Amino acid sequence: MEINPSQQKEVIRPNAPLITIAGWALGRAAIRYREVGVAKVVEGTLDLEYLKEADCIVALGHNWANDWRYRFGIPPFYFTPDPNKLSVASMATAAASAILAAQLDLPIIFQTGRTAGQNFLSEAEAMQKYITEKLSLSIPKGYILEIQSWSTRSNALNLIPILTQHGFGRCIVLTTGPHTYRAAVTIEYFHQRLFAVASSEQILFQFAQDLYQQIVEPFQNSLHSHVEYLKELGLMILDPIGTRTESKARNRLSSNSK
């Protein structure tokens, strides 16, 4: 059956807004990715020879979690954080930082503060304890705890004086896969000392298969994992350096402290 011009417009028109929005979103995201310089975001197999030029490793905390929530694949931002357990992303980042620090003989800077409330451990302290107490791994070159941050933006701002104080010129930032590009954009926005950003999951996959299977594998295809990628894409488009989300993080930290 032939479609006359008026019918054809009616068929095509409903899809046009969706295509336009999707194109705009992907275009904005591509621009943001290009601004950071894709070469600095390590994808795929890590080149240890290149990374050996770094001075330190920075492990970014990524909130708390409940066991049951991850089993059902429910996104984390609908619930109050459980201060007794790190999220899968933070556990993976902590483990990956210890593995990479051993490979490269580097110190670790653990970042992110008391996001569950002032009466609880900071995410930085929890990651360090997870390495030494839960995984029984050592950190031969030592570590620094930065416990004032509550967002990616404040991670970047609080990292600057630490790098200056210790004379670190090249740092490897470790974070969960969906967060790598936004972390790179945010940190580079505030200073030019970014050397590389790598996915914690990739490090575990490459250097510690047992930990990858234990920590990452059960959750990599969950609804939560997909939601994290969509959330990060949205933030890359709408709030790449955390201007809008910082006030929300402050309010959440304030309410959790009451």
Q: If we measure between CA atoms, which residue out of 56, 125, 92 comes closest to residue 204?
A: 92
Residue 142 covered by a domain: yes
pLDDT of residue 68 exceeding 70, the answer is no
Q: What is the pTM of this model?
A: 0.77
Let me know if residue 24 belongs to a domain.
no
Backbone angles phi, psi at 41, to 5 degrees: -95, 110
In a domain, 139, yes or no: yes
CATH of the domain at 253: 3.40.50.620
Domain membership flag for residue 12:
no
Among the listed residues 228, 212, 216, 222, the one whose alpha carbon sits nearest the alpha carbon of residue 179: 228
**Is residue 16 one of the residues assigned to a domain?**
no
pLDDT at site 6:
43
Q: Are 93 and 62 in contact (CB under 8 A)?
A: yes
How many domains are contained in the chain? 1
CA–CA gap between residue 60 and residue 222 (Å, rounded)? 22
| Mean pLDDT rounded to a whole number for the chain | 76
| 23 within some domain | no
Instruction: Say whether pLDDT at 32 is over 90.
Output: no
- Residue 252 belongs to what domain range? 41-257
Q: What is the pLDDT of residue 245?
A: 59
Residue 55 is assigned to a structural domain of this protein: yes
